[in-house]
C-alpha cells in the first residue's frame, strides 16, 4: 500500500513538471537567479536569466503564430511553427529574436504539373526584425539583376520590398521598428499573390501587440 502511494505521488509530481507552463518556468528561473545574485554566484545567475529569456521568447513566438494569415484563395495552410532563436541568434545579433512561420500549398497543380508554394515568416527583434530595411539597402546597392523585377510597394500602409524573377519571389514588409513579414513564393505565376497573402495579416494590430 505504502509503495503504491509513493508511486502515485511520484507520477503526480512528474505530471506537474510536464504541465509546467513556459511562464511558470520563466518565473521560477528568475527567482533562482535572484537567489544566486544574492549569493554572488554570477555564472549561475546568468544561466538562470538566459533560461528565463528563452522561455519568454517561447511565449512570444507562440503569440506570433496567432498572426499568421489564413490561406488565400486556391491555397491551403500546410504547416505552421514558432521558434525563438535563443543563443544561436546571437551570431546574427538576434539573440532575442522570435519567429513564426506558415507554409501554404496550392490546392491544384499548374498546367506544367508544378505545385505553387508560399511561405510567410513573421520575425520580431534583432536583425531579422529589420529585414525589410536590409532588403531595401541590398536592392539599392545591387541594382536590378537580369530577369529580376525589384520594386518598393505598400502593403496596408506599410513599406515593402518585392523581388520577382521567373516563377519565384520574395516580399518583405517592415512593420514598425522591430517586426518584419517575409513572404516567399515558388512556382507562382505573378508576384501579386505574395501581396495578397501579406494583406491577410492585420499589420496594424501586429505592430500594436509587440
Instruction: Determine phi and psi for 99, rounding to 5 degrees.
Output: -150, 150
94 lies in the same domain as 46: no
Beta-bridge mates of residue 77: 104
Q: Which residue among 42, 62, 82 closes a domain? A: 62
Check pLDDT > 90 for residue 147.
no
> Is 74 in the same domain as 156?
yes
**Same-domain status, 34 and 13:** yes
* Same domain? 58 vs 152: no
pLDDT of residue 130: 61
Q: Is the dihedral of CA 59, 60, 64, 66 positive or negative?
A: positive
pLDDT at 133 exceeding the cut of 90: no
Containing structural domain, residue 28: 2-62
Q: Is the pLDDT of residue 14 over 50?
A: no
Give 16 or 208, the one with higher predicted confidence: 208
pLDDT in tens, 61-87: 889 999 999 999 999 999 999 887 655
Q: Please tell me whether residues 96 and 180 are part of one structural domain.
A: yes
Q: Quick one: 131 and 189 in the same domain?
A: yes
Q: The domain that contains 128 carries what CATH number?
A: 3.40.1000
pLDDT over 60 (residue 179): yes
pLDDT of residue 16: 44
The per-residue pLDDT for 57 is 83
Q: Are residues 51 and 78 in the same domain?
A: no
What DSSP letter does each residue of 138-188 carry, written as one string? HHHHH---TTEEEEEEEETTEEEEEEEETTEEEEEEEETTTEEEEEEEES-
160 has pLDDT over 80: yes
The sign of the torsion formed by the CA atoms of 72, 75, 76, 81 equals: negative
pLDDT of residue 149: 81
Specify the pLDDT at position 18.
Answer: 45
210 contacts 122 by C-beta, under 8 angstroms: no
Considering the domain architecture, whether residues 30 and 85 belong to the same structural domain is answered as no
pLDDT band at 2 (very low <50, low <70, confident <90, very high): very low
Select from 30, 62, 94 the last residue of a domain: 62
Are 176 and 78 found together in one domain? yes
Of the residues 15, 31, 62, the one at which a domain ends? 62
Q: Are residues 38 and 142 in the same domain?
A: no
Q: What's the total number of domains in the chain?
A: 2
- Asked if the model's pLDDT at residue 173 lies above 80, the reply is yes
- Over range 198-202, report the average pLDDT: 97
Contact 119, 183 (CB under 8 A): yes
**Mean pLDDT, residues 190-206 taken together:** 96
pTM: 0.74
| Cell numbers describing residue 81 | 511553427
Amino acid at each position: 500500500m505504502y509503495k503504491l502511494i509513493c508511486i502515485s505521488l511520484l507520477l503526480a509530481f512528474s505530471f506537474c513538471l510536464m504541465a509546467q507552463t513556459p511562464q511558470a518556468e520563466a518565473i521560477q528561473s528568475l527567482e533562482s537567479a535572484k537567489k544566486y545574485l544574492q549569493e554572488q554566484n554570477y555564472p549561475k545567475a546568468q544561466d538562470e536569466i538566459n533560461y528565463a529569456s528563452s522561455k519568454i521568447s517561447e511565449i512570444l513566438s507562440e503569440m506570433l503564430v496567432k498572426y499568421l494569415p489564413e490561406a488565400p484563395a486556391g491555397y491551403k495552410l500546410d504547416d505552421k511553427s514558432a521558434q525563438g532563436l535563443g543563443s544561436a541568434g546571437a551570431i546574427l545579433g538576434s539573440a532575442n529574436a522570435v519567429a513564426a512561420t506558415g507554409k501554404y500549398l496550392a490546392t491544384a497543380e499548374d498546367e506544367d504539373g508544378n505545385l505553387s508554394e508560399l511561405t510567410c515568416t513573421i520575425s520580431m527583434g534583432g536583425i531579422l526584425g529589420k529585414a525589410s530595411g536590409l532588403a531595401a539597402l541590398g536592392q539599392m546597392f545591387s541594382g536590378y539583376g537580369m530577369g529580376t523585377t525589384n520594386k518598393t510597394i505598400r502593403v496596408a500602409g506599410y513599406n515593402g520590398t518585392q523581388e520577382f524573377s521567373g516563377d519565384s519571389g520574395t516580399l518583405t514588409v517592415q512593420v514598425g521598428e522591430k517586426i518584419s513579414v517575409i513572404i516567399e513564393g515558388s512556382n507562382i505565376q505573378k508576384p501579386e499573390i505574395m501581396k495578397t497573402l501579406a494583406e491577410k495579416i492585420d499589420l496594424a494590430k501586429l505592430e500594436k501587440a509587440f
